[in-house]
Structure 1
């Protein structure tokens, strides 16, 4: 099984480059990507980042210097990274890693657009989470 999509190429190698903060991935179809940790972190597939539906995404900031502390295999379909900011809930399937690698330019442009629309800087600290409302 390649990933969540059976047509996705499988990784032939995964190399974590801590100093340059990139995950280097080579796939069975010959594709080779260097995915920055920051890109992985801001596009984590976790509910904490993606929300639970369209329009619920949480814009991530202050992630330029994030490190990848560990990368645990999840079955035979993906990996679960633990980032230096404590984020560790996103499971990156092989097809999602391939998507991140193949669409980097588009994803960066979209991220920069969302930052501009929100009026925040890329390196701004994350805003504090609002306390849940109790309905009173």
Structure 2
């Protein structure tokens, strides 16, 4: 995923739906998405999750019921998401959020595959 895209779409509205654990994002190019808190948590751009280089990623498990407790603006280029499991590192740049929105389906399938390969099963939430 690229994080330095020139002229990438920028969010014009970000709303947290805590009951459904979804973050709604509307971009200035009319792209709209609903990203689950779990998805945002397991794809955190932090070094704790991504590691310090290719192949050093840390699989996040047991994040099905995580929520976002705060959304903090960082300049005009990013937000910091504070999760209910205490995770609060990693800046979600506009480019990164747009990449997550555009690639949601393939990234989610990739994550489920990694969980399965590691022998983990997601608990179903209603």
TM-score w.r.t. structure 2 length? 0.91
Question: Which aligned segments of 4 or more residues in structure 1 are displaced greater than 2 angstroms?
Answer: 3-6
Q: Show the counterpart of 2:48.
A: 48
Q: Show the counterpart of 1:28.
A: 28
In the aligned structure 2, how far is the partner of 1:24 from the partner of 1:102?
14
Q: Show the counterpart of 2:57.
A: 57
Pairing of 1:1-136 with structure 2 (within 5 A): 4-123=4-123
Deviation at 1:114, TM superposition (A): 0.7
Deviation at 1:4, TM superposition (A): 4.3
Cα deviation per residue 1:63-85 (whole Å; 9 max; x = unaligned)? 11101000000110010000000
Paired residue total = 121
What's the secondary structure of 1:52's corresponding residue? Answer: coil
What's the secondary structure of 2:52's corresponding residue? Answer: coil
Q: Which has the larger radius of gyration?
A: 1
Unaligned runs of 5+ in 2: none
Cα deviation per residue 1:43-72 (whole Å; 9 max; x = unaligned)? 000000000001110000111110100000
In the aligned structure 2, how far is the partner of 1:4 from the partner of 1:53?
17
Q: Does the Cα contact within 8 Å between 1:41 and 1:83 map onto a contact in 2?
A: yes
Q: Does the Cα contact within 8 Å between 1:42 and 1:63 map onto a contact in 2?
A: yes
